[in-house]
Structure 1
Amino acid sequence: MNDTRAPEELRWPAPQAPGAVRGRVSIPGSKSMMSRVLVLTAASHGASSVAAPLLARDSALMVAGLQAMGIRVVTTDDALWMVHPRAPQGPAAVDCGLAGTVMRFLPPLAAVAHGPITFDGDPYARKRPMAPLLRALTALGVSVDAASESLPFTIQGTGRISGGEITIDASSSSQFLSGLLLSAPRYDRGIVLRHQGPPVPSRPHVRMTVDMLRAAGAAVDDSRPNVWEVEPGQLGGRAWHVEPDLSNAAPFLAAALVTGGEVTVPDWPATTSQPGDLLRDLFTQLGGRAVLSHDGLTITGSGSVRGIDADLSEAGELTPVVAAVCALADSPSTLRGIGHLRGHETDRLAALTAELNRLGGDVTETDDGLRIRPRPLHGSVVDTYDDHRMAQAAAVLGLAVPDVVLSDVACTSKTLPQFPQLWTELVGARP
């Protein structure tokens, strides 16, 4: 997991802020929306267009997976992609990389393929939770060949599945729910999906899935707690526009917070199901001022950062950057509701604890989160664990702590390949 031995040439010195950081940063498309759009368009009848598509590793892996199954995705125009759906076909091999959306959204679609579809990914991807989804597919009558309940595995598609009622424990990832719901209209009887277990994390992502299914023409009933019912039916092709990735805005807005500056992210949606919208409240609690206007979202720092006690269960992906900010606060913080992060791109709770303490911090893990007691920090090489969020957190720390070096910044290509350039331009920007 730990990449301290990354080659010297991959190391990236994090820029230290020369003063209050001020500027505007346009953020590319949402990875979460992009993944859902691609699956919905592939499961539709008729062509769809995708405006402002995300150009990053996760979306490239999703496109490659769909293309491997015979679905035509035209990506020659960086501003507008076209998807021409057809029945998925095997044999095919899907590389999931480290993308949870690929490994959890495409197998339910592969269940209606004609022929076998094999899934595998990066070495750490084989450690990510998959058992609830594979058990659910098996219970729905899908033939799954797997040596263990994780990657690699093969879905033996027969062209159709009946669907029906299924109960799963999605407490380790909301993506299990979203993956099943997105393809449910293709099942003969649709699906009645029940969650039974501890609370589902990242609930806004499930709401996003439901909203986008309805936008595509699906009939979805989510009126009962922890029950989602999707009727069978044809989804229509349509024009989609991808919102900016609000979670990827976190480090840039944090730069204003920790340096007493001001940063604006344009095109921030007035209403959205993206969990990243919780940044407005979180950064206000941390001592900043948040203003949403026609110009976008602007965060203004006060020159000091307050510690917080926050439940991040609905937006766990914000944890690394929020933890970095808390390490620079003037009082202790407790981050709760994020035990599921142990199964993300890396064990993020262990990684944050190790790296913040490496810099001189005082961080301890709890059953479901972190306790952070601010201490004077010093420079060091910070491991990024091939995790884009860990790299973003380290960059935020580098604003205020001299001589912070990321072991590898290239992992940000997962969802934001432009991160090093955007970051350097922002930190170097002056009023």
Structure 2
Amino acid sequence: MPDSAPTPSHRNDTPTGEHWPAPTAGAPVRARVRLPGSKSVTNRALVIAALSEAPCLVRRPLVSRDSELMVGALRALGVTVTEVPSDSPDAPDLSIAPAPLTGPASVDVGNAGTVMRFVPPLAALASGDVRFDGDPRARERPVGELLGALRALGADIDDGGRGAFPFTLHGTGAVRGGEVILDASGSSQFVSALLLGGARFTEGVHVRHQGPPVPSQPHLDMTVEMLRAAGATVTTGQNSWKVEPGPLRATEITVEPDLSNAAPFLAAALVSKGEITVEGWPEHTTQAGDALRGLFTRMGGEVSRTDGTDLTLRGTGAIHGITADLRDVGELTPTIAAVAALADSPSRLTGIAHLRRHETDRIAALATEINRLGGDAVELPDGLVIRPRPLHGGVFHSYDDHRMATSGAVIGLAVPGVEVENIATTRKTMPDFPGLWSEVLS
């Protein structure tokens, strides 16, 4: 198949950017990795800090496009965000000084799901008009359920009836809140967004989900745990989440390493018969990436812990296919699919229909790019079947999706001649993936 622009059966922007020759592992990869902070924790921490009654220090935050978009959104609403020296070589800490949220303002959400979902409830609490827009792909990503829920809770939103970006939220300085029913099967972020703002709503918020199962349960657990740590009263039930009205009192939030971004590095150990140690892997975490321990063990790796803080994965030489429902950990799918394409038996990955409306349609994109390199990947309505075949070099398109780009890098470890298009898109959640990847392989 020629290395022309991809034509998968899904919507995406035309791939852009230079081709990055993915390094091939000529020997077992052995390294220690210190990962940047979690995007999911960082952006939740920034929202909670902005709504807190007192100044809050966010320690070891991620510095990436998504986190910069969140900082920009908060500053646009009148929140003071200041960089301060830290004990981390990766990034400065961030001091958040809460202030009355104000407009008029313009918020660029880029293509960051947390920004496009978490910031509108804050804007509803602001005084003045707040206009939202983002990258072209942002206009295709689901947000209508959230806007409908905010209207039901008392917000005034002008979206021209599209339920999509761009839109203007006419903030009145307060949101009534109360009970709302929505379908969050498209994204758990709809629920998290309402919960994060709910403590500041006059009546709090009681969110009820009605529809197919909500994906990404660990992210909902993360939101609930972080709100409780900030002093919110949160109760949960079956498809039900309630936040009582009241003050948030966060003074310091430390961001964990991004465990989902550990996926390609741990995969490097599995694929190359090597050994990778990730520093600072938390003993208790709500991050979806923690599931990598079990998934990669099933695929042939051996996992161990050192000193209760570091996690090591050793490749045994075997790479097995896997049958897995990834509904709760869908963001790991691109890396799991890349490893599956190099396995010794077929894989079936399901429960991930919601990935069709992420940064790109990840199901279609993965099938297209694996097949482009000679593989055999078949789309399911909610997933993929991957039957391993000998792969060859070629261009692996990223579709401006950071996790597609890193999955191409994983395949390139074992397949000479793979070139990843627009590797720079990894900056969405990692400051310098190519640099860290080269360091690990050196």
How far the C-alpha of 1:293 sits from its partner, in A, is 2.7
Conservation of the 8 A alpha-carbon contact between 1:2 and 1:383: no
Residue 250 of structure 1 corresponds to which residue in structure 2? 263
Quote the offset at 1:418 in angstroms: 1.5
**In the alignment, which residue of structure 1 is the partner of 2:72?**
64
The answer to whether the 8 A contact 2:109-2:133 is kept is yes
Post-superposition CA distance 1:25-82 (Å, at most 9, x none): 1001000000100000001111000111111100000000000010101125433210
Q: CA deviation at 1:425?
A: 1.1
Match of residue 97, structure 2, among 84, 88, 106: 84
1:48 maps to 2:56:
yes
In 2: Cα distance, 1:240 partner to 1:191 partner: 24
Deviation at 1:417, TM superposition (A): 1.8
More displaced, 59-68 or 137-146?
Answer: 137-146
User: Who is 1:384 aligned against?
Assistant: 398
Q: Bigger shift: 185-194 or 293-302? A: 293-302
1:115 corresponds to which of 118, 121, 128: 128
Alignment match, 1:272: 285
Q: Deviations over 1:260-311 (max 9, x none)?
A: 1100001000010001000000000001011123251100011120001001
Q: For this pair of structures, how many residues does the alignment match?
A: 425
Residue of structure 2 aligned with 1:357, choices 371, 393, 400: 371
Letter in structure 2 aligned against 1:90 = G
Cα distance in structure 2, aligned partners of 1:205 and 1:72? 27
Q: Residue 183 of structure 1 aligns to a residue in which SS?
A: helix
- Contact in 1 for aligned 2:125/2:171 (Cα 8 Å): yes
Give 1:100 deviation, angstroms.
Answer: 0.3
Q: Give the aligned residue type for 1:293.
A: T
* In the alignment, structure 1 residue 238 sits paired with structure 2 residue 251: yes
Correspondence for 1:15: 23
Residue identity matched to 1:6: T
| Partner deviation per Cα, 1:328-387 (whole Å, 9 max, x = no partner) | 000000001100000100000010010000000101111111000000000001110111
- Alignment partner of 1:220 out of 231, 234, 255: 234
- Inter-CA distance 4–110: structure 2 relative to 1 (3 Å threshold): closer
Please state if 1:6 is matched with 2:21: no
> 2 CA distance for matches of 1:330 and 1:422?
28
RMSD: 1.0
1:101-121 per-position Cα deviation (integer Å, ceiling 9, x unaligned): 000000011111000111110
Match of 1:310 among 293, 311, 324: 324
Distance across 1 between alignment mates of 2:158 and 2:69: 22
Provide the C-alpha distance between the structure 1 equivalents of 2:193 and 2:176, rounded to a whole number of angstroms: 16
Question: d(CA) in 2 for partners of 1:212 and 1:108?
Answer: 17
Q: Which ranges in structure 2 are unaligned for 5 or more consecutive residues?
A: 1-10, 86-90
Offset at residue 132 of structure 1 (A): 0.7
CA distance in 2, matches of 1:86, 1:373: 55
What's the counterpart of residue 260 of structure 1?
Answer: 273
Which residue in the other structure is 1:371 paired with?
A: 385
8 Å Cα contact 1:57/1:413 also seen in 2: yes
The 2-side partners of 1:154 and 1:412 are apart by: 30
Q: TM-score, normalised by structure 2?
A: 0.95
SS in 2 for 1:314: helix
CA distance in 2, matches of 1:314, 1:163: 28
The aligned residue for residue 344 of structure 2 is 330
Which aligned segments of 4 or more residues in structure 1 are displaced greater than 3 angstroms? Answer: 1-5
One-letter amino acid matched to 2:69: L
Structure 1 residue matching 2:337: 3-state secondary structure: helix
Contact 1:49 1:240 in 2 (8 A): yes
Deviations 1:13-35, CA, capped at 9 Å, x for gaps:
00000111111110010000001
